[in-house]
Structure 1
Amino acid sequence: MRRQLNSPGLPGQDEIQVDQVDRLLQEAGTDWDRRAHRFGVLADAAARSGLARSWRMRRPRSGDALVFEAWVELVRGRHDGRMADIQAAADSCYRAADALPEDPTPWVVLLAILRLARADTREVFPVWHEVTARDPWHREAHLQMLRYLSPEECGSRSGQSEFVHAVRAAVPVTAPAAGVELTSLVEEHARTTAKGGVEALLIRNLWTNNRGTTALDTVLADWPRPGRLQHATALADLNLLAFALVQAGRVREGADTFRLIGDTVTAWPWSLDGDPLGQFGYWRGKALG
């Protein structure tokens, strides 16, 4: 029986797990979006184990090992609210960037570390440009910047809006970062609902005004067609679209989207309205019925 990444393991098992992780990352090749997705999933799974350190100790010159350890430290930092040694994690990213000069992943992790540290924009934007020079539509990097620029973190409502507008004007509609505007709307929906009051009662206006309808119409024209979205987290973006259509009162228009999703339900954003599986199942029934 295969052990989980967070199990103590037996002598030699760490080496087997390192080989497994290494192989999964290598198989992604230069698909930077898929590679980052695998790094993130594996780092989450390994966060409570010593696997990342074991890999780096065994293969100290491996850029992937350095990135992986930094990402694991980032996962732990998010859980704890602070990183144990932010400088060491950042240094690992710089060393990985030297070892993997064409790969945006070390810069993506560094961007996330700086976001967690609430670093100044003078530190953050040069790292952002390193990512986009290597992969202009990197999904994870765009989402990190979207949240860094939010009024809840280190930006403002106007600054975040400018970022979303710039992305919308340039990003191809089926690129990995095409869900940035929809993500910003769902997050605004969540913030407004959580605050309560009159604005929360009128939240549907967010989805029926020009900004909301334009965002939905744009992705509806392309996303819900088989094979159109090819990036690693395409199903997460389709879940986002299905949720947004529900909020906009356009459930029937989501039939093709729900069919493409199948049974792959993401916790967010469905958890905003209760149990994700229950919410998804209910609205899928409405859309397909």
Structure 2
Amino acid sequence: MFRRRTALLVHPALDDDALHATLTELRPTPQLHGLGAGSSRPLWQPVADLLRDTGRDWDRRWHRMSVLANHLPPAVCERWIGERPDDGDALALWSCVRCVRRAAADGWTAVRDAERACLRAAEVCPEDPTPWLALLGLMHSLAVPPRDAVPVWTEAVTRAPWHRGAYHRLLSYLSPRGHGSVADMMDFARQGAARAPHGSPLALLPVAARVELVAHRQRQTSLGADSHWNEPLAGAEIESALTDWFHTAAAPHAEAVADLNILAFALVRAHRPSDTAPVFRRIGRRMTPHPWALLPEPERTFLYWRDREGGRPGR
């Protein structure tokens, strides 16, 4: 039973093979001082190549930047920004790194440095929503009230109107587990889904918000948290996610794997086996910790439901 867990692919890069390859190439070794030694190629060149190839796909750019900021060896970005201080990609990534790795113990000097990094990147890359989303993350970590954070979010979606990452970042901000309320979160999710174009992954926003609601209720008390999936409105939200996103011919987006896991989780909790199977088949082995970590033994639970609903991959 336990050996089956190794078949899962649980990785922050999701199904982005190019991002995964870059992280693997730059993975720290026991000889950290030798990272990049013996090569005429700059240490940061694989990251620069990856971001150059990403182009203006703002959705994938944000996914790649946020994963890189959390998982790159610190020396890589430090050397890149040191050697190319005016490089737009380097500045955008540096803004993400500074916001992610700013420790609370570092005080307001680190906060101001992170803020300046975001604003500098936004100045050099005026069309890129990434620096604004990095700044929004910084504000989240500082518990800035949502009314002051929304203008920053607006800067991001002005540049990329249906940016999946931007909407999910503000959803997290407005969550009762963040700095908002149930009413604020659900209203934002429903309005975003209603306005999004057909085929947009934002159709899943109300389902993602309901997962947040369950997590919030579960943190307060384990009793009755799952009753939210039995409400008629929950069924309508799931149906809209299936009709307006899952069953459309929309091209996969950068974090489609994460959305598929949210949808599969909701379908399992709502007891909709006929709809669950095709979602699990599309997921295959790519489980994400969220939202399965809300259940006991997440990996074992995921495998149980995937195999029970006929979603086991054929390879």
Asked if Structure 1 and Structure 2 have the same fold, meaning a TM-score greater than 0.5 normalized by the shorter chain, the answer is yes
Contact 1:76–1:83 (8 Å) recurs in 2: no
Change (3 A) 1:81 1:271: farther
Change (3 A) 1:195 1:123: closer
- 2:68 pairs, out of 39, 42, 48, with 42
Give 1:76's aligned residue. 101
Letter in 1 for 2:46: Q
Is residue 68 of structure 2 the alignment partner of residue 51 of structure 1? no
Name the CA distance, whole Å, in 1 between partners of 2:293 and 2:40. Answer: 35
SS state of the match for residue 71, structure 1? helix
Give 1:172's aligned residue. 197
Letter in 1 for 2:138: I
* RCO higher in structure (CA 8 A, sep ≥6): 2
Contact 2:95–2:118 (8 Å) recurs in 1: yes
Aligned residues: 282
Name the CA distance, whole Å, in 2 between partners of 1:74 and 1:83. Answer: 12
Contact 1:6–1:49 (8 Å) recurs in 2: no
Trace 1:1-289 onto structure 2 (pairs within 5 A): 3-7=25-29, 8=32, 9-11=35-37, 16-46=42-72, 48-77=73-102, 80=103, 85-196=110-221, 200-225=222-247, 227-288=249-310
Deviation at 1:269?
A: 0.9
Gaps of at least 5 residues in structure 1 are none
State percent identity of aligned pairs: 35
C-alpha offsets along residues 156-208 of structure 1, whole Å, 9 cap, x if unaligned?
Answer: 22222221232122123532433321111111112222322xxx433333112
Change (3 A) 1:3 1:168: closer
Contact 2:92–2:121 (8 Å) recurs in 1: yes
Change (3 A) 1:149 1:116: same
SS state of the match for residue 201, structure 1? coil
Contact 2:201–2:245 (8 Å) recurs in 1: no
Name the CA distance, whole Å, in 1 between partners of 2:121 and 2:197. Answer: 29
Letter in 1 for 2:66: G
Name the CA distance, whole Å, in 2 between partners of 1:82 and 1:150. Answer: 25
Deviation at 1:11?
A: 3.6
TM-score by length of 2: 0.82
Segment of structure 1 superposing worse, 255-264 or 112-121: 112-121
Change (3 A) 1:224 1:83: farther
Gaps of at least 5 residues in structure 2 are 1-23
Deviation at 1:151?
A: 2.8
